[in-house]
Structures are given as structure tokens and as C-alpha cells.
Amino acid sequence: LVRETLWGCSNVIHNVNGTGNEPIDSQKDVVSCIASMIQYLSAALSTYIRQVVCVYCAQLIRNKAEEEALKVLELSYEWLRGVCRLTQTILTKIIDPQIITTNPLAEGIDAIVTTILPQLSSSLSSYPIDFDLAGIYSSLLSCITSLKRHEKLMMVNGTVAIRLGTLALNLQDNTEIVLVCGVMLSIFGLIDTTLCDTIEDFEAEDLFMIGGILCSLGCVFSPRPMCAETSSRMKLLGASLLRRIGMSPHDEERNDDFFSHGGKPHLLNMIAASLRKNDFSRVEGFAGIILSSICNEQSVHMFDWERRELSLADQSTGLLLGLSLLHGCVTSKSNTNALQPRQVYSFIGSLLNLYPRMASRTVPSIIHVLRTCMDPSAGYDCIESTLLVSLEFLASESIISDPHGAHLVWKYVSSLTNDGVPTAVRSSVIRILAKMCGSNKKLFRRIRDVIGRSMVSRDPFIRIAATATLADLAKFDLLRDVEEIIGWVQSRLQDEEPAVAHFALVALKYLVVNEELEFDLVIRVLEKRLGVDLCDTPTIMKLDSLILEGLLMLLGTGRLEEIDGESESEEGTDNVPIVSPELSKAVSLLLDCHHYLQNVDKDIYSNAVIRRRIYASLTEYTPQILGLDPDIVRDWDGFNNSEYTLPEITSFLALKSNSVHGLYSAAQFLKSHDVGMYNNAKDVAKDILLLCRKLLLFEDEVHGSFLFRGLSIRNPKVGPSLTNEGRVSKAGISQLPDAVDVKNMFEEDPRSASAIAFLYAMGSTGSNSSTSQPTSELVLQISECFYDLLNEPLVDPAFQAVQTCSMMYSMDVLWASMEQAEESTKHTLFNQVVSDVEGWASNSGEYAYVALAALALAVDDDPQLWSFITKIQNTILGGSDNYLFASEDAMVLCVGMVAAKLSRTADARVSDLIDFIQLSLSDNSKACFGAFFGMGLMVKNLASRSELSGSNPSKVWRRRTIQRLLGIFMTEFDACLSESNSTVRELVDCLKMGESSDDLLCMCEEIDLSILVGVDQKFKSILIGLAHTFFALSAINVKLMKCVACTLIKLPWGSGKGFIMHNAYKACLDAEMFQQEDLSNAILDCTDVLRKAIADGSDMICSDALFALASLCSLSTANVQTETSLVVETIQKVLSDVSFGNDCKSISALAGCAIVGQVPGLTSFTPLAHQLVKKEVSLSVVKVLNETASNDSEELKCRDSATIGLGVLCAMKSSIRRVRKNRLVFEKTKQIDRGVDIEAIIQARDGSVLESILHEIQALLRMKSQHSHEDAAATNNKLSVLFSSLELIAMPGSFSRVIEMALSTTSRNDAEVKTSSVSLLVSQLKSRRRIGFDGRGFVDLSTRLAKMPYQELTDLIGIGSLPIITKAIPDLLNQLPTSVCEGVLKNLWTLSQDEIIRNSSISSTEAFLLGLKKIMLDAVKNDPGSKQTISPAVLRALQKATIGYIFSDLCKNASPSNPVCMLNSENIWSSYIRCLEIIPVAVISESDVLKSEINLGNIYGIALCARVLSSMSGSSASNRTRKIETFIACQNYPGNSNNDIRVIDQIRAVLVTSLAIAPQPQSETEMKESVMNIFEIMLVQGVKTFGLELLAIKVAFWWESLHVNEQSSINVPVQRVTKLSSFLIAKNICFQFQSLPCDVLIQFYDACIADLPFKLALLCGRWRISDDVSNRAKRICNDGIRLRATTPKSEARRLENSLTCLRDIVQFMTGEMLF
């Protein structure tokens, strides 16, 4: 019939073409009929090929299926050939568009390409008969080429691409490959990538997969000469498509409702949809499932299901899928975030590990990726990461293990190791050679030759890479012919590049470790090659840091030397290993290096690395090698200094010092915010921990129980008392004026000076103190003072600074008063105060806004107050327009104070305010005090909150802002000089960069400066502002600080430099840039200048030197009585002598304050008395100031300065009292926080490491509350290491009090200390007993912790510490009474469940089950010599709990509906099932929980446990599984409920449970019964249940299992046109799918349902139940057809899919078409 039809159609077409007499309409009708016939023949052929399945089903019994199937395929081949030729004839011979209609032809070709060709070509190639497929491909290519563009669109999808791509990979003939590739190019080449609107016609996910598949095929076939041109076209088309891919407009409008999802259920579409959504978790989930499916591996063994090997076609499909994703993620820019090359390489590598023959096909794609990365024009963003990952994969065993793959790889890689290749690429390739050698040792000689050539390269980077690779080869013991390689290593030891020598030393290290070389010989050779003596530690420490690091690594590889038999003593003593001289020298060098390291000029990073290598090498040695003699250490009393001369004791003391006190160095490194430094510090701490443990174990072995019984008891070492620090002489302070006196002065003569003095007196703690005054009274008093500030405005910058600080000081007192108010009224009170201060503007003018800015500076950083700050800022910035300020200087001062407030929190608005201040400086060169004083305030506040070092963005911003402000200061400074100075300009540049040049300091020390005439006031303002910047500058760069200090000190006397002398010298002394000798010289210089100025009558120089000398005397540690007396005498003389001018007398009054304490505004921002102030000095200063202030004959300016000075002295007295009060509060708090005294609890042996550790713990616990945040972090790390070191030592039970104290005094965020404390507690629960010690304290503490509520417990021990306790259940229950065990167990289980609910963590639950499993395993071990560790009653209680409330809680909290568990529930359930397997059957049979009725709440848990329960119950195995399947199959599939979360949870629970039960059938009989049972249920319940989903997944698992391994079954043609659901079948899939959205799970089931019919037909034919199944399927399908009319639209899609599946089942089994 087929032949006659094809022959007849051919004749008709020939006649139509041959005679032109027929009318056009007649010809058109004939051609149209033939086109329709071709369309019908194509569809019929697709159905006919399915008969192969029917043949197998019908003929399987007679074993003639092969012959019958071949007949079907032969006719199918002839059929397809005829259709293709007929179609070609029409398209090539009839070209008149009025006659031919190609739409039916296009549909027929689409059926051939999509369905027929993949099936027929793959099937025919498996038979020995020669079919001419090339002719068919050629005809088909011609037909597709002749089609119109829009008619090809139906074939442009990822499914066609993957099927034709798989077909091409399975072909052997190059001609056929070219033709199939041509078909693909003809189909997909219609996408004109130059037209954006064309691309938008397609779905982005389809284009992504198509582009990747085309690139992959182009790379795979590129090595074949005949395919070169076609391969190149495919690569170009695929790459162009991937680069142009974008998100279609309709993608974002898609409905995410998975009930209405109408997507194609194909693996490619599921993956591509995830890429389209840029969902990293979904892509990662798919990758994990496919990996598990291919590898057939799982971390836990819950199921016995094993996967069969993939067929050849499936292998090709898997490879093509992986390669297409690789090309897609590299070339397409739109998906690089969701899919990374490393993920794809994992998938490809897993596939190649199972099927290594495909490696040679993978290599061209990887090489293409590498070339893309190295091509600058490619525009790829992640070049470095992708390049390295690709090179690593190219060198992996997955590729190199295959000989052909290894040949291709080496051919490419070797070309990249030659000269002329870019250094970065060449060095990267050289670095992978070691991995290549490990993957295929046959490449060693080639690799060795490349390394040998590269080690003598002129390029240092190539030498570094080659030597590092040689070190890797030595590390992995891959070197052969070591004699030749040793010469290479030795020649590199003296390389000019330190990194080369470093890796040469590392290579020697591993050669020694692998016993290729002797340690002693290597040491001797090193001394000769490096030209050093290892005993000369100072010379060793001068080596380059990299060389020193490598040497230290090598020094840790020594071993004990065996004594030869000839050298044994005649008495026949044992052959005891000895320490060789070289080994002893190495240990000594390690210890000495640690000692000398603190004196060597190494940068902090190198310091950390070197310390790490020292500790790591020391931990490699045994006590004997370290020079520790047990007998000598045992006899040492820990006190006798004469014993220190013994080398064994010296070594012991050095190791103890290195281990315990080395933690302080690690703590300093931890302060760095550099990631590399922080990781190094962590490594140092780990190595110190190992060394401490080694020493503690040595002591424990040497002393035993006497380790805790010292020969004498000593008090702990106590440092200097903190209560003695900072004390001030009461006699000296008592002479300072009281607030009452200052207040009287103000009331008697209210003027500006007395108002300033009274503002300073506001903080006094007298009877009228602020603490006893209401806030409203304080506001009233301050307002009175502000009204009087307008009387005599101050113009001198020094007094302007003092006046401004008086306003700031009063606002501090006012804020302190408001803070004492109740919380409920505090903000109301604050708003009232702000309103009052704003009201002062009517009388006080601009000073009211200065007060507001000062109040803003005083308040805390409360977020509720930031609106007030913003309001002030806006008011001040708008002041110039509103005429709020009489002078611009006052406005700029307010701006600076607001900016200082914002600086504390690194507010971005600060930069704009600095711009405003800088603009004001450029516009006004005279009135500038406010600008410079404000900038000084900003610098002070920028540096006051934290350290400025580190890479934290906030700290970087602070540093740069400070540098900018300092640059402004010094720029204005240079502008005030008589001529611009080059040194100052270079200093400005260095300040802006934050770095100092080499010769800058010398230039600053030799600078010569002179001041421009007429800028005296501005210049003093600059110096006053600069005086407050030194300490911030020291935090940035101490060398720069010294340069600035030296520059300012070189100023001429009389310029105002006396104002900066105190802070400059103090900052330099603190930073150790100046010594006390420098200060003494400065004091002598000031003394000489002062005396000369008095003699010459120079007022300006006299006042400048007098203030400098007064402020410097307080810094000196020497006896400065003479200088102090000179200052006092000079003040008295100046203030009483009429020959001195008013300016000199005014500054002399401030100098009197400076000799007593810090002058606000000049040397600090707050007044504070010096510690060493003498009574006589205070008395003299107060007396002379009182006399001057009350002397009416004096000029008003002199009396004002004296009055202000008295107010400042009163503030000093008040400040000292507040400091004392704070100290008393601190001491009281310290007494409270001191807590447990460790020495009262436990006393270690004198001089032992344990004693030092306990002392350090005691000190650290006391220090915790005293440190800043950074110091607290370092303290926590030290404490954590010390606690961890004690875990291996059995401690007395009373030590639990120390652990409890550490937990209670540590904040919740300090997880490190809490974790180490809990770990130490748990370690003491182990069965380690020391004679005379009672460990009940640890048990009691653990029990109390277990009984605490969850929130209280996590607050105490931290969230991450609970799993440590739950895992210690075996050790804890072994030591508890039987009556307590059950309650503790239940409490711990409740805590672990609370952790799931509250913190979304399953760690505690997993740890609990692991501990439970350990108890049960120990109980079932029948060791006759061992004693049972747990009572039978407790064991039975544990068993009942396991099958009782534990199972119920797991069903609730570890179910698919709980998003917390996701993938992690696999470990939980595997541990639980392991426990269940151990419990006796008799105990399980008593459980009511496991026998309870199945419901949605417990079905998942019952399904997972079904196999275990079935194996225990024997004959009831199928019944238990059948109940679960019946329950699932009876559940109705819910319709659309607006994405109700409960409906989604129900669907997820049922579908995931089906995945859990599917892998469990053990026999064909059980499988047959299951299939029939599901069909019976569907007969009753209909198709709207989950029955079809359950059937599909069970058949999918059975089909992919080892039970179906006949190639004749799995290679049927229809297998080539599946939905690729088999790539998602893995034994642990029920856990992995939990991490994916429910719509993905539904799509997967749709794919399984689509692939079900032919699989079920073949299986039923094997089982001889085809008739029964087809009959039931037909009845169910007919019932479902009747439901079409009444089915809602939202459920119609699923109904049609179900009916289609049932129809195909019937057709495959019987050949009957139902509809």
C-alpha cells in the first residue's frame, strides 16, 4: 500500500510538471492533494514506527521480536525514503507559487525531523544491514532549504536540537554527519542574528539550548577534516545566537501559577526555564539531581535501588546536554549569574568518570572555551575564573584517563608552554601540569621536560610557576628520577626571585616527607647553598620573607634517626632512635626564630605567615625531638633557677612561652580587616592550639594526677593595680576655685567673660550641682549666660576657642541632666529644651544656633534624634539667606559642629559640608576661625569611634576624609607663609595620599618658614585647629604625623606655635616617634626663649613660649620643678607688670590654666587637670588670676582673661570629680564581674603549661568587659583557643564553674567563646577519670543546660552550640541515673525541634539522632569482655522514644511541607532509619505510632521507613507498601485554589512521598501487583487522582534499574524521542526535589507521564499482563473522555495529559487508537 501510494503520487507530480495544458486551478488542486497525502504519510509513519513496541509486546514470548521489529524498520526506511523524495520532487520541480502550497509539506517535514528521523536513524544503525541513510538526509536537507522562513519556525526548538544533535553524535560516517548538521543549520540558520525582532519571536530558553547545542556539535566534529567547514558554521551560528540572546518581553508577563502551567514537559525546558528566571538555587538543584542520577551515588544508603548503565544514545545525550550548558554559560551574558562553569564541569566530569570514552569528544569544547577566554574581542566578563576552572578540568582524571583524550589535551596544552605565549596563560598552564601528571602518570616525562625548560626561563613568573609545579609533584609523590631533579632544585635555591627559592625549599620539604631525601643531608646542603649557618639566627631572620617561610616549612620535616646494628652496645640494649645534630639544630632554630621575630623589621603580614610556619613545624615533632626529657621535667620543681641551665628545661620553657604567649601575637593579627591577614591569624591560632595540646598531653603523661598537685602554692601573677592609674593629687585639686565663687563673679559683674566662666562652672558637683538641679533650671541659667556673651565679642582665636568650648561644655552638662530623666519623658524633655534654645535667637542671635549645634554634638547617636540633627543642618545652611547669622564665621562654625556630629556615623552628608567649609575659606580670608575649629572637631570625631586601619568601607571613608581635611589645613597653612614652600606642598600631597615619601622627614626637619604679614589671626586659627588632628594622623601614618609636627615646630616663636606644642609632642611620644630626650630639649629651648623674650621685652614671643612651656611640663617624666616655677613666676610677673601688653597678659592667664591641666579649645576639647599638679602651683595660679580679675585698675581685656581662666580651672576640678566617680563605678563593676577565682578552684603544678593556661584564662575573663569591640574579638579568640586546648585533659568537676562563668559573661554574638566552652564541657563528659577527681560538676552543668527553655539556653550557649550538646547524648546518659535519663533525653529532643521551628536549623536534630544511633549500636555489640555502658531500662526507653514521639515530630518537622529541612532532611531520615533497623521487632510491634492510620501528616515518614518495617515483618512487606500506594492513588489532585499554600503543600507531600516509595519494590511480582493495584484504584476513582503520577514514577524507577538491562528493550526507537525524564531519576530524589519549587516537581511528573506508555507497554509484555492493563486503561480513558465537558479550564490541561497517556498505553499495547 505504501509503495503504490508513493508510486502514484510520483506519477501525478511528474504529469503535472510535464504538461502545461492543465488549468492552474486543476494543477493547484492536484498538488494540494499530494501535499496533504505527504502530511498524512508522515504522520502515519510516526505511528507505524510505534509498532516496534507492539511487536516486542506480542512476540516476546516466541523470541521473534528481533526479526519482526526488523521488518517494521525496513518498511519504515522505505516509507521515509519515499516521502522525502516525493517532497523533494514537489519543492524542486514545481516552483510556481500559484500552484504549490507548502504548509502541509512543512508539517510533514516537522514530523520527520522531530519524531521519525531520531527514531529510525538510531534504530537502523543498530542492525548489520546497510541502509542508505545519506540519501534520506540529503533529500531532507534539500526539502528544508526550499521551505519558507515562517514554515521552519515550528521546528526551531530545543527538543529538535537535542534529538538531531544526539543523532549526529551517534553517526560514524562523515558524510552523514555533514548532512545531519546541514539539516540543523538549515533549520536554525533562519534566525538572523542581525535582527533583534527576529530573536524576540522565540523563547529565550529555547535559544539558549539551541545555541549551546550548535556550539557543542561544532566543537565535537571540528577535528574531522570533512566536517571542518560545517563545524565552523555551527560554532559561529551558536556563538552568535548565545551572545544576542535576551529576555523576551513576554517572559516577565508569564503566569507563575503552576496549576495553569502549560510548558512543555521536557528536561531541556525545565533547565532552560530556571536559567531564564536566573534562579541559582533551582539551577543548582537540577545539577545536583542530574549528578546523582548519572553517578548513582548517595551520601547515605536508604534505598537498595541501583541504576543500569546508560545506553550509547543516552550517553551522547548527556554529553551534549553538559557541553551545551558549558557553552551557554560562557558565551551567553544573560545566564552567567545562575549557571557557573564549575557546576557544568562537575556534571560533565561525573559523566566521563562512568563513560571515559567520551572524553575525546569533550576536549574540543573545553579548548574552545579556553580560546574564548583568551580572546580579548570575545567580551567575556569572568575570564580569569573560567580560564582557571577550564584548565583544571582539562587536567582532571575525567579527561586525562582516556588515552585519546590525554593525547588531545597534551597537544593543546604543550603549545601553551612555549615561548611567545602570554605570561599569565603560560604560567597558569604550567601550574596544572602536576594535576595532569596525577591523572595520568604516563605524561610524567613530557611534563618533566616542560618544567625543566621553564625553570631556566628569563621570565620570573614562569620560573615561579615551574618551581611551584615541581613542588606539587613532590607533594603528591609523582616524581621519578629524583637524582636529575635535585640538580634543578638546588640551582633554584639561589634564584634572584625569592618566590622561586621559596618553592624550591617547599619541593625539598616534600621530597623529605616522601623519604626521597634524608633530612640531615638536605640541611647540610642548604647551609652550603644559602651560605648561612642555621645556628646563626640573626642572619637567618634577615633572609627574604618568602625564603624564610620556605625554610621554616622544611625545618618541620625531620625524623628520628635509627641507630645501626653495629653501633649498638655490647650489652644488647634496645635500638632506640636518637635525635641527630641537624634535627636538634632545626628545632633550636625554630625556637630562636620565634624569639627574634619581634626584633626583626618584617611587615605585619610576613610576621603572621612566619609565625604560622614556626608553629606548624613545631607541631610536627614529638616531645623527644623537641628536646623534652620526661624524667628531668618530672623532677623539676618549677622554681629553682639553677635548673634553667639544663637544655631540657630551657626547651620546655621556650615551648611554653611560644604556645601560651603566642596567642597575643595572633590576637594582634586578628585586628586586621584584611581577609588574608585574618585567615593567617586563624591558622596561627590553630597551630598554637595543636602545640598547646601536644605539651599538655606530654605533661599529662609525665605527671599524671600530680599535674594538679603543685609542690607549692603561689598567688597568681597580678599586674599593676588599675586603681592607682590616673590618680590626681587631692591637695592640688582642692585649691582650684569652686562653682559658687565663679557664680558670684557672674552675678556681681555679668559680662561676656564671667558668662563664659559660669558656663564652665555648670558641671560642678557642689551643692548646687547639675545632678540636683532640674533641667529647666539649667536651661534658664545657660540662657542668662548666652544673653551676656554678646556684651564683648572675643576676636582672639585662642579665646574664641575657649568660648566655643564653654558652650559645648554647658551643652554636655545639659544633656547629662536630660539623661537622668525617665525614659518615658526623655524625648519630650529633649524637644522642650530644643524649643527653648531656639527661642534664644531673638536675644542671643547667632549664639543660639551655636548652642543648638553644640547640643547636637553632645547628644547620643539615638536614631530618634537624627531628625533634630537634620533640622539644625538645614537651618544653618539656610542661614545666609535668612540673615540668621551676623557673621559668616559663626555660620561656618555651626556647620563644622554639625559635620563633626555626622562624622561619628560616617554620614555621607559630611562630604557636602566640607565642600561648603572649603568654599567659605576661598571666599573669606579673614573671618575663618569657625572653619578651622570646626574642621578640628571633625577630625577628632572621625577618629574617636574606632581604629582607622583596615579595609572596612567605613574606615576607608574615615581615613580619606581625615586626609582631605588635613590637606585643606596644610594648603591654607602654605598660603599664610611669606612665600609658598615646596616642602609644605609635597607634605600636602603626601597627606592626601596617606603615605610618606622617603626623604620627606629630612626635608621637614630642615625647613625654614616665615609668616606673611597681616594674617596673624588666621594663622593662629589654623594652628589651633591643627593641634587637634595629631592623634588622628598618628592612626593613619605615624611618619606623616612626625613630618607635620616637625614642620610646625620649625615655625618662628610668636607665630602661635605654642598652641600646638603640647599635642604634637604628646602624639609623637605615644607613637614612639619622639623620645623623652626630645621633650627635654624642647622644654629647655622654650625656657631659653622665654627668658630672652622677657629680657628683650618681646610680648608675642614671651606669650607663645610661656604657653608652650606650661603645656609641655605636664608631659615630662623628669623633674621639671625648675621649669614649672619659671612658668608660675613669669605668669605672676606678666600679669602684675604694666610693661607687658594686654595680649601677652591674656595668653599668660591661659598659660596658668595650661600648667594645671588641659585647656579646652587649645590642648583638648574638654577641661581636665594633670595628674602631677602640685598644691603650690594650683594655689599660685588661682591667687594671681583672682588678683587680676578683681583688680579694677587693670585693663578689661586682662581682667576678662583672668576671669575666663578661673572658670576653666573650676571645670577642671569638676571634671576630676566625675572621673573619680566613674572610676568607683568601674571598680565596683569589676568586683562584680570578677566572678569565679580559678586558683580557688584548681591549682596546677608550678611551672607547668597548664598553670600558664589557667592564669591566662583567669586574666582574659577579667579583661573581657574592659575592651573595645576589636580587642574583645581578639580576647574571645585567645580564650577560645585556651579552652580548646584543655579538651584532651581530664579536669576536676569544679572547673565547670569556670565554663559556666565564661558562658554567662560572654555576649550572645561571641559565638567563638561559647562554642569552645560547650565543647570543653562535652569533652569532660567522656569516660576519662583521674584518681581523686569527681566529674559530677560537668554532668550537673550539662543536665541543667538540657532542662533550660530553648530561648534561655541559646542566649547562654549561643545558637550554634546546641548540636554539640545533643551529640554528646551517649556520654551524658552513661553518667546519669536511670530515673533522670528519659527526662533529659526528651528535653534535648524538644530543644532540637525548637531549633527547627525558631531558627530554621536541623543541626541539633541531626546530632541528636547520631548520638542516639551510637547508643543503640554500642548496646547491640556482643563483646564478651566489654561492660554494658547503659542500663536496659534506659535502652528500652530510648527505643520507645524512637518509635514514638521522635517519629511523630520528624513527620511534622522533617516533612516535604517544611521548607526548613529541604535537602538536609536526608541526613535526618537516614540516621533515624539506621536507629530503626537496630530496634528489635518486638519493640516495634508494640508501637501505636507506626501502626496508626496513614494520613498526609505521616505518610512521608511511613513511606521512608516502609522498607525497614517490611523487612522486619516478613510476609507483610507487600501489604505495607500497598497501603501507602493505595493512599496516594486515592488522593484527588486539587484544582486551582489561587496558589493556596495548603494546596501546594498537599501536592508536594503526595508527589515527594511517591518519590520515596518508588525505588523500594524488590521483585517483578511486587511490581506487577503494584501496577494492577493502581489501575484498579483509577477504575474506581477516575483520572483526577495521583494514581497516574504514582504509576509513572514507579515505572520510571523500574525502567532505569538493573532489572531492565536488555539492550533490545531499552533501544526501541521511541526511546529516542522521550522527554529525557530518565536523567532526573536518582535513588535519593525524594530529598533533592524538596529544594525545588512545586511547579518544577509537577513538570518532572508530567515528563514521566509522557514517557510512561512505551515503558509500561514493554514491561507489561514481559510480565504477560498487557491485556489486563490495556483493558483497564481503555475503560479509564473512556470515563475520562466523558469528563471533558464538565472539567474546569484550570484542570483541563492535566486531564488531557492523562487521557493522552492512557490512549498511548492502549496503542502501544494493542495498536488501537481510542481518539
DSSP output for 188-200: HTTS-TT-HHHHT
CB 206 within 8 A of CB 252: no
pLDDT tens digits for 859-881?
876 656 667 777 777 777 666 55
pLDDT exceeds 70 at position 1126 = yes
pLDDT for the residue numbered 1511: 61
Q: Residue 390 and residue 384: Cα distance in Å, rounded?
A: 10
The region of weakest confidence among 123-132, 202-211, 1588-1597 is 123-132
647 compared with 1331, residue with greater pLDDT:
647
Neighbours of 1 (CB within 10 A): 5
pLDDT at position 573 is: 45
Q: Which residues contact 797 (CB under 8 A, 6 or more apart)?
A: 929, 1017, 1020, 1021, 1024, 1056
Which of 322, 311, 414 is CA-nearest to residue 361? 322
Which whole number is the average pLDDT over 1159-1183?
85
- Please report which confidence band the pLDDT of residue 1590 belongs to, taking 50, 70 and 90 as the band edges: very high
CA atoms of 259 and 868, how far apart (whole Å): 53
1375 burial type by CB count under 10 A (0-12 exposed, 13-18 middle, 19+ buried): middle
The rounded mean pLDDT for the chain is: 81
State the average pLDDT over residues 1685-1693: 82
Buried b (16+ CB within 10 A) or exposed e, 1566-1578: bbbbbbbbbbebb
Out of 738-742, 850-854, 1332-1336, pick the least confident.
1332-1336
Check residue 65 and give its pLDDT. Answer: 66
pLDDT at 1620: 86
503 has a pLDDT exceeding 90: yes
- For the cut 80, the answer to whether the pLDDT of residue 1714 exceeds it is no
Alpha carbon distance 20, 34 (integer Å): 18
Concatenating the DSSP letter of every residue in 1405-1446 gives: HHHHHHHHHHHHHHHH---TTSPPSS-HHHHHHHHHHHTTHH
pLDDT for 192: 56
Give pLDDT, residue 223.
Answer: 92
Mean pLDDT highest for which of 273-277, 464-468, 906-910, 1241-1245? Answer: 464-468
644, exposed or middle or buried, with CB in 10 Å at 0-12, 13-18, 19+?
Answer: exposed
Crossing angle for the helix pair 929-942 and 953-975, to the nearest 10 degrees? 150
pLDDT score for 1222: 46
| pTM for this model (two decimals) | 0.67
Q: Has residue 943 got a pLDDT over 90?
A: no
Query: Could you tell me which residues come within 8 angstroms of residue 1547 by beta carbon, excluding any fewer than 6 positions away?
Result: 1533, 1534, 1638, 1641, 1642
Judged against a pLDDT cut of 80, whether residue 680 lies above it is answered with no
Mean pLDDT in residue range 1682-1692: 83
Question: What does the pLDDT read at residue 64?
Answer: 62
pLDDT top residue among 1546 and 865? 1546
Report which of residues 1598 and 1236 the model is more confident about.
1598
With a cut of 60, say whether residue 423 has pLDDT above it.
yes
Strand partners, 578: 561
What pLDDT is attached to residue 276?
Answer: 67
What distance in Å separates the CA atoms of residue 1593 and residue 1599, rounded to the nearest whole number?
10
What is the band of 1586 on the pLDDT scale with cuts at 50, 70, 90?
very high
pLDDT of residue 723: 32
1648 pLDDT more than 90: yes
Mean pLDDT for 412-424 is 91
Chain segment 1614-1635, per-residue pLDDT in tens = 878 888 888 888 888 888 887 7
Name residue 900's amino acid.
A
Does the pLDDT at position 656 exceed 90? no
Residue of higher predicted confidence among 886 and 1139: 1139
Residue found under cell 531656639: 838
* Number of DSSP helices (H) and strands (E) in the chain, helices first: 87, 2
What pLDDT sits at residue 717? 32
Report pLDDT for 1194.
Answer: 82
DSSP character at residue 859: S
**Which residue has better confidence, 1118 or 997?**
997
Q: Average pLDDT in the 1392-1416 region? A: 88
Longest alpha-carbon distance in the chain: 140
CB 555 within 8 A of CB 590: yes
| Contact (CB, 8 A) for 1207 and 742 | yes
Q: Please determine, for residue 1556, whether its predicted confidence score (pLDDT) is greater than 80.
A: yes
pLDDT value of position 1224: 41
Is pLDDT at 991 greater than 90 in this prediction?
no
Specify the range with the lowest mean pLDDT, choosing from 257-261, 615-619, 947-951, 1501-1505: 257-261
Give the pLDDT mean for 1170-1178. Answer: 80
> 571 pLDDT band (50/70/90 cuts)?
very low
pLDDT reading at 431 higher than 90: yes
| Residue 497 pLDDT exceeds 50 | yes
Across the range 367-390, mean pLDDT stands at 77
What pLDDT is attached to residue 1233? 42
All three cell numbers of 1518 = 507487600
Nearest of 1186, 1209, 1218, 1219 to residue 738 by alpha carbon:
1209
pLDDT at 1509 > cutoff 80: no
Q: Which three cell numbers stand for residue 1535?
A: 484544582
User: Residue range 1277-1291: average pLDDT?
Assistant: 88
pLDDT at position 1179 = 87
- State what percent of residues in the chain have pLDDT above 70: 82
